[in-house]
Amino acid sequence: MPTKQFVGEERPDGSNNFSFPSGHTATAFSSAHFMFREYKDSNFWLSISGYPLAAMTGIYRVFNDKHWVGDIVAGAGIGILSTEIAYWLFPLTSKWFSSKEEREALSVVPFYQSKAVGLTIIKTF
């Protein structure tokens, strides 16, 4: 994450200065919140099942001296917020890439991982 280089917070174990925010926790909470958004109306228990796993991801990162608690809280917030933004943007961006009849057959997903930026486009024929 570019934020890690900008902030430069040292990890609790002293291994580097890329502690804030927790990328693992952001990814875990993004996935958990996605599950919640997709299944909240059809299967409540499935919709909340990702949150305990996401929380454990953050807790283990703290116990393994890779992150401070603030890093975990920020990562969780970033993960949830990024999923909310994706749900807000999807109706807008899907109009750009498909006709009215094909709107449900296209997904555009930006990603940033391991210092690489990219865009995934999935089109169903």
The string of pLDDT tens digits covering residues 53-79 is 999 999 999 999 888 899 999 999 999
Is the pTM higher than 0.75? The answer reads no
Q: Which helix (H) or strand (E) holds 106?
A: strand 106-113
Residue 117's SS3 state is strand
pLDDT of residue 110: 86
Contact in structure between 99 and 45 (CB atoms under 8 Å): no
Alpha-carbon distance 14 to 87, whole Å? Answer: 37
Q: Is the peptide bond before 91 cis (omega within 30 degrees of 0)?
A: no
- Tokens representing 19? 């502690």
Residue 95's SS3 state is helix
User: Sorting pLDDT into bands at 50, 70 and 90, what band is 121?
Assistant: confident
